[in-house]
Amino acid sequence: MSTRHLLGGAVMSLAAATSALAQAPGNTLDTVQSRGSLAICTTGDYKPFTYQAAGSESFEGIDIELGRSLAKAIGVEARYVKTKWSDLMADFTAGKCDIAMGGISVTLERQKRAFFSAPYLVNGKAPIARCADKDRFATLDGIDKPNVTVIVNPGGTNERFVRGALKNAKIETFPDNRTIFDEVLAGRADLMVAESVEVKLQEKLRPGLCAIKPDEPLQYGEMGYLLPKGDVVFKAFVDQWLHLAKASGEFGKLFDANMK
Q: Could you read off the pLDDT tens digit of each residue along the chain, which spans 260 residues?
A: 444 444 444 434 434 433 433 334 469 999 999 999 999 999 999 999 999 998 899 999 999 999 999 999 999 999 999 999 999 999 999 999 999 999 999 999 999 999 999 999 999 999 999 999 999 999 999 999 999 999 999 999 999 999 999 999 999 999 999 999 999 999 999 999 999 999 999 999 999 999 999 999 999 999 999 999 999 999 999 999 999 999 999 999 999 999 98
Return the HEC string of 71-116: HHHHCCEEEEEECCHHHHHHHHHCCCCCEECCCCECCHHHHCCCEE
Distance CA 24, CA 22 (A): 6
> Rounded CA gap, 257 and 49, in Å?
11
What's the CA dihedral at 166, 49, 121, 76 to 10 degrees?
140
For residue 174, give Cα distances in angstroms to 16, 125, 140, 190: 55, 18, 21, 13
Q: What is the pLDDT of residue 117?
A: 98
Q: What is the pLDDT of residue 26?
A: 61
- Predicted confidence at residue 260, as pLDDT, reads 87
CATH code of the domain made up of 27-120+224-258: 3.40.190.10
Q: Whole-prediction pTM value?
A: 0.83
CB 58 within 8 A of CB 52: yes
pLDDT value for 7 = 40
How many angstroms separate the CA atoms of 251 and 248, rounded?
A: 8
Give the per-residue pLDDT at 15: 44
Separation of alpha carbons 196 and 241, rounded Å: 25
Which residues partner with 122 through β-bridges? Answer: 222
Residue 23 CA: distances (Å) to CA of 20, 26, 94, 236: 5, 9, 22, 22
- Residue from 223, 46, 213, 222 nearest 140 by CA: 213
Q: What is the dihedral of CA 206, 207, 213, 214, to 10 degrees?
A: 30
Same CATH topology for 27-120+224-258 and 124-221: the answer is: yes
- Name the residue ranges covered by the structural domains of the chain: 27-120+224-258, 124-221
Determine the CATH number of domain 124-221: 3.40.190.10
